[in-house]
Amino acid sequence: MKRATIFFFFAVLPLVPVFLSSCAVNPVSGRHELMLLSEKDEIRLGRKTDSQVVRQYGLYEDKRLTAYLNELGQRLARVSHRPSLPYHFKIVDSPVVNAFAVPGGYVYITRGILAYLNSEAELAGVMGHEIGHITARHTAEQYTRATLAQLGLGLGMVFSDTFRAFGDLAQFGVGMMFLKFSRDNERQADDLGVEYASRTGYDASQLARFFETLERMEEKGGRSGLPGWFSTHPNPEDRIGAVRKRAREWQSKLGLRNMKVNRNAYLWRIDGLVFGEDPRQGYLSENVFYHPLLRFQFPVPPGWKLQNTRSQVRIISPGKDAVMLFWISRSRTPREAAEKFVCDSGASVIESRGERVNGLAAHRVVSELKTRKGLVTILSYFIKKDRKVYEFHGLCIKSRFYYHYAPLFGDTMRGFKKLTDRKKIHVKPARVRVRITRRSGTLRKLLVALGASKDKLKELAVLNGRHLNDRVPANILLKIVEGGLQ
């Protein structure tokens, strides 16, 4: 976990310099269009957003897999309409199945999507699609729209908007990543993805197979607050048929023969990939949040929704009218952290005192903040453990604070303590494992023979891009999932 301040939520503001509007030529269509971003601005914006994405979601630490992704991405970028942009390809440490493009050449692939892909050709199609969003300037265009909507917002207004948005998945700063593309943009990105994958020698019709997999999945956002594929990349009409048709067109246009699929090579690359939520980064079990790496725990009120990102934990009330925020402060003492919070937020202090929480030095503050929506009351605790100061803030409108939410906030914050239970500390994530089938048979039979549990069969079929009654020959690689929290 890294530090964030309440101003994290205002992080969009420094990203909103008033760019002079100008007409730019679209690199894909060749048409002139209104753009607030020059290419230089685009790259600068990309760099800024990238540091926020890394801080907030964290990267999947696997140098070999990242290098592999980057090598493939660079090959695709070289045949794209904007080969000279400085491209970066990164793996976001999230189980959510999605991929994101940010202006200036930043492409993010989640480890969740890597688990569900079944060949290098499918991966090339997905990466080509994301590169397409960048080359056709869809991301820059979205940014232009978002900026026009945000210009002129004052800090106080942003705070109350932020407060309202606590219940949403939308995150400020990196919110741009989560804007929904139009169906026309999606169609164009599909076409470009097929083109770039074909130009690098891949069978681009494999992208259609992956879209079939996506349609069979239950779309779920993760605890990290990242949205799933269809919430950012909506389906244009007959997407799968259109991709297959375009792939055939490009194959004949380029005279391609022996197009690459590279199924086995890809599957061996992802053998051992972490699957699902990684409990080492924090997990909820029976209304207690445990963090094995940082060795702390605290209770969470039943029914509240917890989102855990690398930079903070948010806990949202069932009625979405109260929220608790939790992160690591950069200050050295609880008192210093409390003073910094009061100073940064501009809140007026009602009570402030030192106390101890489960034997740990702490400081407690009750404060009020004026927002556009009215007075918000905040209970804050700053608690020191192992040379780090952790801070909690519980917020709701004043009228609901004293009798309703303050006791709930207090139970969670005063419940913060050292995690010493070895069983809760030594947790291991589930991982994708690649196995070879010894005999032929239905997928269902073979998965069971490989040790898959019955209740996971449906999900494993989707993971393998096959159906349970499909006949599978001997000596084929299949993915199974091993380990994880019981």
Q: CB 41 → Zn ion: shortest distance, Å?
A: 22
Piece of 24-32, 71-79, 180-188, 222-230 that binds Zn ion (CB under 5 A): 180-188
Q: Which is nearer to Zn ion, 130 or 203 (CB)?
A: 130
In the complex, residue closest to Zn ion by CB: 233
Q: Smallest gap, in angstroms, from Cβ of residue 169 to Zn ion?
A: 18
The nearer residue to Zn ion, 179 or 328, going by C-beta atoms, is 179
Q: Amino acid identity of 10?
A: F
Minimum distance from residue 236 beta carbon to Zn ion (Å): 10
- Please, which residue, 174 or 413, has the CB nearer to Zn ion? 174
Is the Cβ of residue 141 or residue 278 nearer to Zn ion in the bound state?
141
Closer residue to Zn ion in complex, CB, 102/369: 102
Residues 6+ apart with CB under 8 A from 46: 102, 103, 104, 105, 106
Q: Which stretch binds Zn ion (CB under 5 A): 70-78, 184-192, 234-242, 476-484?
A: 184-192
- Contacts to Zn ion from residues 233-292, by CB under 5 A: 233
Count of chain residues binding Zn ion (CB under 5 A): 4
Closest separation between CB of residue 316 and Zn ion, Å?
Answer: 28
Stretch that binds Zn ion, among 182-190, 266-274, 354-362, 434-442 (CB under 5 A): 182-190
The token duo for 88 is 């970066």
Site for Zn ion contains 189 (CB under 5 A)? yes
How many C-alpha atoms does 235 have within 13 Å on its Cβ side?
12
Q: Closest CB to Zn ion among 232 and 371? A: 232
Minimal distance, residue 185 CB to Zn ion, in Å: 7
Query: Which one of 34-42, 120-128, 189-197, 356-364 is the stretch in contact with Zn ion (CB under 5 A)?
Result: 189-197
CB of 189 to Zn ion, least distance (A): 5
Q: How far is the CB of 203 from Zn ion (least distance, A)?
A: 20
136 or 378: CB nearest Zn ion: 136
Residues 219-238: x where in contact with Zn ion by CB under 5 A, - otherwise, as a string: --------------x-----
If the CB atoms of residues 10 and 230 are measured against Zn ion, the closer one turns out to be 230
In the complex with Zn ion, the residue whose CB is nearer, 181 or 290, is 181
Task: Please report, as residue ranges, which positions from 102 to 161 form the binding site for Zn ion (by CB under 5 A).
Answer: none
Least separation, in Å, of the C-beta of 19 and Zn ion? 24
CB of 232 to Zn ion, least distance (A): 7
CB of 135 to Zn ion, least distance (A): 12
Please identify, using beta-carbon distances, which residue of 214 and 284 lies nearer to Zn ion.
214
In 3D space, the residue among 38, 67, 55, 245 whose CA is nearest the CA of residue 143 turns out to be 38
Residues near Zn ion (CB under 5 A): 181, 186, 189, 233
